[in-house]
A and B are shown apart, each in its own frame.
Chain A
Amino acid sequence: MSTGVEERLYSIRYKTDDKSHLIIKDQDVCARCTTKECNFFCPADVYLWHDEEKATSVAYENCIECGTCRLGCPTYNIEWVYPTGGYGITYKMG
């Protein structure tokens, strides 16, 4: 009965903006980060560290706007704002 995050996110309606509302302030800070906690605590798997590129990718289009990364990043390296009005997630039930 285990399902990945992709299947779960299919259940939510998104209206994706063409610009990200989540911005990594400094990729060098991510490179020095030993825990990479955002790769785990995000309930929508938005963040992924890439060793070769030495960068954290941000799948902002999957974001469910919970704010965990805003408070959870140990160096507050994520600039977090709300998506533009009317964009982002819309729940069916909530």
Chain B
Amino acid sequence: MADAHFNAIVVGAGPAGSAAALTMAEAGLKVALIERGEFPGAKNVFGGVLYRKQIEDLIPEFWKEAPLERAIVEQRMWLLGNDSVAKFGHRNERYLDPPNCWTGLRVKFDQWFAGKAEKAGALPIYETVVTELIRENGRVVGVRTDREDGDLRADVVIVADGVNSLLGKALGAHQEWMPDQVSLAVKEMIALPKEKIQDRFNLEGDEGCTIEFIGQTAGMAGLGFLYTNQDTLSLGVGVMVSDLKKHHIKPYEVLDSIKQHPMIRRLIQGGEVKEYSGHLIPEGGFDALPPLSGDGWMLVGDAAQMVNAVHREGTNLAMLSGRLAGLTAIKAHQQGSFSAGMLKSYDDTIRASIVFKDLKKYRGMHSLMRDVDSELLFNKLPQALNDAVYQMLLVDGVTKKEKQKSAIKLLRSVAGGNMDLLRLGLKGWRAMNG
């Protein structure tokens, strides 16, 4: 391995890394795709939803062969109270042709996706950890791996090592994520017969449904999710690590209490837990985006905090960034230069893309989560909203006018008064429209 020289080395065979490797290999570049797991996907976890657009840009009509679970026809947002729920949602037949997104299992999907890069000519080097980047005169010229004689050299290294980007940190691209810039998600895969899933979620055939829920996270900033797969449900909860630190609660205990919530319990009833998993989600948003390239390197996907937490989009942004990095490498290869100035064109294409623009739109979301009391946003307000709806719909002889007045009064008092409610509303609006 010592003498091997590649046009590009990709570290990490997740969605970002495989997208980069596929793009470059298809253009004829000599590419090495390194993965620390036994196979691509072995270590990977998401909610998870896979979006069509960014995969289609790489592999037209991929859904005819890719391992996917259910095509999402309905998305629900639930605000949970202690023993209640207020629901929003949207179902639309137009989401099916062509499908907008699917549920998926990363172990299957990532293997398939990396396989595409392999077939295009990328050299798979799996069960191998990159321990450091090799630098000469300030320029990244290769990687050192934990294999014997494990040095590999290349014109460019694409760093796709995920949320715990030890290589990004070694590059000085980021110092270290703060505990409020990441969420820990724990998830269980719960097996149920197909028909039960279809009946309980109002689905036919391969149709699927996603539910996101706020509330019942022990007063911590967090989001729960329940997604339908073919014959399993993905039930999980992600909680901001800074809140988790404060609360001294075990993450799987939050999951346990959610499983007992009356609105969730009946949906998973009789199911058997097939797998438990946990993973960090980078949620620092726009202001956490690190420098994306330098002399001989580019940073993609989770390693660069490219997650839109508001819309639970991550793998699609990863693939898009991987493709853009790959295209930059192709251009650099053609022009024979992999200097920082040349690779800067990757930053430019990211800036012009939804990665940058969507994260910018929700720029204020991170500070909203960090600065506003989680107990208020994730417990008191959802509960108050549930109580207000309960009262409005309860026929008990009290006039509707009276009911509306006390509902508003309740929301106001929870927020800490008129001005605070207004301020919170404004801050929320700005966070969504930066």
Contacts and interface: CB of A to CB of B under 8 A. Distances in A.
A2 B43 CA distance: 25
Interface residues of A, number: 40
A68 B184 contact: yes
Interface in B114-168: 126-129, 131, 145-147, 163-164, 166
Interface in A22-68: 35, 37, 40-41, 43-45, 64-68
Contacts of A90: 37-38, 42-43
Given A71-B179, A84-B129, A93-B274, A37 B259 contact: no
B241 A71 contact: yes
A78 interface: no
B275 A11 contact: yes
Contact of A43 (B127, B273, B278): B278
Contacts of A67: 163-164, 280
Nearest to A86: B127
Main secondary structure of the interface of A (DSSP, over half): loop
B184 A92 contact: no
Nearest to A67: B164
30 contacts: A1-B256, A2-B260, A5-B250, A9-B276, A12-B277, A15-B38, A41-B241, A41-B250, A43-B252, A45-B250, A66-B279, A68-B244, A68-B280, A71-B179, A71-B182, A76-B176, A83-B36, A83-B129, A85-B127, A85-B128, A86-B38, A88-B43, A90-B37, A91-B44, A92-B274, A92-B275, A93-B275, A93-B277, A94-B42, A94-B105
Interface of A: 1-3, 5, 8-9, 11-12, 15, 35, 37, 40-41, 43-45, 64-68, 70-72, 74, 76, 80-86, 88-94
Interface of B: 36-38, 41-46, 105-108, 110, 126-129, 131, 145-147, 163-164, 166, 176-179, 182, 184, 186, 188-189, 232, 241, 244-245, 247-252, 256, 259-260, 265, 273-280
